[in-house]
Structure 1
């Protein structure tokens, strides 16, 4: 069940943008759980994302564009948070994060941010149920929630 939170943390590709809103403890929990999926998806897509995801500075828009759109989809799918139609499953996200994150304020922040980004499920995408474009839009939306 913890693997579902990892994928909520794909919002954690945008996590370095959200981190100003959530506690350091929650950030560490999410990043710790994310590691396994990052590694599997990195290998599957032959990506070098380490410097982008694990640095201490905020990710820039240019760095986000450099990450393959399918990276986020891979992590979301592996964690069961993106369904067969390539859409984000909000209920699974919320259930999973509540099992791992202890800070109620952080849960509320992440729920609100995620809910605000669910409109990506209704957007037209060129890759259909593959989910890469939608996952990338979701991550970008999550990064915008900080602003």
Structure 2
């Protein structure tokens, strides 16, 4: 399992379910406009930065910091102002944060717990609201001997 897949599974495991679709970078890249089904969540590894090798001899050991974005979109046209969709986003933000903050991934070596970094409203248009939650997790890259 990959880091992205672990994040996706955590979102699928929210009970009661808050997303009708949870997908990764490929689905995000192929999206043309709004998703057909909402609420939808997309998990992307936005950036990974590795430090220098910490060992003078032996296999390489590097600390890596990953920024994992959860981009979600919901649609609610029950009012003309978009306030209903904005309220839905707040509920989704809370559910996503509860599912991910403090989670310790097992797909990477010696991972730290997941921390929240930032939150951004990406777009609000035609009853759809797009939100990006950015999470960070540190782990180690170890040379295979």
Q: TM-score, normalised by structure 2?
A: 0.28
Q: TM-score, normalised by structure 1?
A: 0.27
Which of the two has greater strand per residue?
A: 2
Which of the two has greater helix per residue?
A: 1
Structure index of larger Rg? 2
